[in-house]
Amino acid sequence: MSGPSTYKPGTGIEKWLDDRLPIIRLGYDSFVDFPTPRNLNYWWTFGGILAIFLMIQIVSGIVLAMHYVAHEDYAFDSVQRITRDVPFGWLIQSMHANGASFFFVAVYLHMFRGLYYGSYKAPREILWILGVVIYLLMMATGFMGYVLPWGQMSYWGAMVITNLIGALPFIGDALREWLWGGFSVGQATLNRFFSLHYLLPFVIAAVVGLHIWALHVPGNGNPVGLEVKTKKDTLPFHPYYTVKDGFAIIVYLMVFAVFVFFLPTVLGHADNYIEADPLVTPAHIVPEWYYLPFYAILRAITFDIGPIDAKLGGVLAMFGAIGILFVLPWLDTSKVRSMRYRPLTRWFFIFFVAGALGLGWCGAKNPDDFVLGIEGFKFLYLGQFLTFYYFAYFIVILPLMGIIEKPKERPASIEAAVLGSDKA
């Protein structure tokens, strides 16, 4: 961790333990006396919120697994039974299902925070990449978890996504069958998805450990984007940020509780209360809301690109949209981290966020419907334009802006930014 340890064992037992397994020292240096920039705002609280939600999902998930039956004939009924017959099953199932949504809300805000304040820039590239790995694992875990209740959307969502694999040249069909463990989405698929859905959160927890390790080497970034230079730039993590994070966590949990108790199904889809039927496709297959922007990108590619047909092109664009995040630290050529001091790029970023939300809107709609009822303006075209902008932001705008943009003057230090005036 950054700086020498300041831990002093207080009692004989602590001293004895510290000589053998300095685990209290590790916790103290990481979460008590860890020097943290004094200017962190509430956008920095989502890391803590995410840690809480990972725990909520694991604990509620382990409980649900005690009652869930991973069989194509019983899975749907077993989830209904959990919500009706199992003591407090209605609560724990609601926590788990809504917890996934709140987990994704927090991770998206955490990622936008990183994009806005340049958290991915040197020396935090590995920290960022580990974060993208966690995000990918979350996507896989969430996808497989959504299959488990074995409703119509579970089944057909799984069908559509696994069929994407079939778009890969040469190996696609064999790979799809390998994934299914049969000739279609079925019992074997459900069973293995349950196994992997149970496993992956622990993999996420391990990568979160690396993520925090990689965070504690350079320390936190901060809203002005300057490195910590002196001790005056920092505050100890405890009590300053334990309290700030704690407050944010409580507020976030209050909103969560509103959904868990009063709107438990509002984020779900009505079709998922119909048991999976391999012979009937729902009229309108939509994934969970947190995949919608990527679903829109998938559907935006309706044309062949050279030897790549539209189907494979859509798949490549969808995975490319996440894959490009891995190389973001090297695409953004600007040395200035925070968008506060990047007057032009800041606007492009705001459009990027709006575009990402817009893609989500397109993903939820039928591509052939008209946007706001405007004749001829199909959601497909909006999706295509926003997909273009999504990639242009990373491939053209960020590399170019680092060269042509003149950043605003930055304060001399974090301390000066905080104590000098309110407006940094």
Partner 1 sequence: MTEENGAPGADGQEPSRRDFIYIAAGGVAAVGGGLVAWPFIDQMNPAADTLALGSIRVDVSVVPVGSEITVMWRGGPVFIRHRTEEEIAEARAVELDALPDEDARNDNLPAGTPGTDANRVLRPEFLIVKGNCTHLGCVPLGLSANTGDYDGWYCPCHGSHYDTSARIRRGPAPENLPVPDYYFEGGDESMLVKIGLSPDEASNSGWAVS
Which residues of this protein are in contact with partner 1, per CB under 8 A?
156, 159-160, 162-164, 177-186, 188, 192, 278-281, 283-285, 299, 302, 309-311, 367-368
Nearer to partner 1 by C-beta: 60 or 189? Answer: 189
- Tell me how far apart the alpha carbons of residues 244 and 231 are, in angstroms, rounded to a whole number: 20
Q: How far is the CB of 285 from partner 1 (least distance, A)?
A: 6
Q: How far is the CB of 37 from partner 1 (least distance, A)?
A: 45
Using alpha carbons, select from 329, 345, 352, 349 the residue that is nearest to residue 408.
345
Nearer to partner 1 by C-beta: 164 or 205? Answer: 164
Q: How far is the CB of 162 from partner 1 (least distance, A)?
A: 8
Question: Which residues are within 8 A (CB) of 260 and not within 5 positions of it... i.e. 6 or more apart?
Answer: 91, 94, 95, 98
Nearer to partner 1 by C-beta: 114 or 363? Answer: 363
Distances (CA, A) of 117 to 85, 225, 293: 48, 7, 22
Q: Tell me how many degrees the CA angle 47-244-25 measures, rounded to the nearest 5.
A: 70
Nearer to partner 1 by C-beta: 178 or 330? Answer: 178
Nearer to partner 1 by C-beta: 19 or 368? Answer: 368
Side-chain-side CA neighbours of 49 within 13 Å: the count stands at 28
Question: Which residues are within 8 A (CB) of 101 and not within 5 positions of it... i.e. 6 or more apart?
Answer: 259, 267, 288, 289, 290
Q: How far is the CB of 385 from partner 1 (least distance, A)?
A: 19
Nearer to partner 1 by C-beta: 181 or 246? Answer: 181
Q: How far is the CB of 203 from partner 1 (least distance, A)?
A: 16
Nearer to partner 1 by C-beta: 186 or 236? Answer: 186
Using alpha carbons, select from 85, 65, 84 the residue that is nearest to residue 75.
65
Nearer to partner 1 by C-beta: 107 or 300? Answer: 300
Question: Which residues are within 8 A (CB) of 282 and not within 5 positions of it... i.e. 6 or more apart?
Answer: 152, 153, 156, 271
- Tell me how far apart the alpha carbons of residues 345 and 403 are, in angstroms, rounded to a whole number: 11
Helix or strand holding residue 63 (H, E) = helix 46-65
Burial of 157: CB neighbours in 10 Å, binned 0-12, 13-18, 19+: buried
Q: How far is the CB of 311 from partner 1 (least distance, A)?
A: 6
Pairing of β 234-236 and β 35-37: antiparallel
Using alpha carbons, select from 297, 328, 289 the residue that is nearest to residue 132.
328
Q: How far is the CB of 144 from partner 1 (least distance, A)?
A: 14
Q: How far is the CB of 177 from partner 1 (least distance, A)?
A: 6
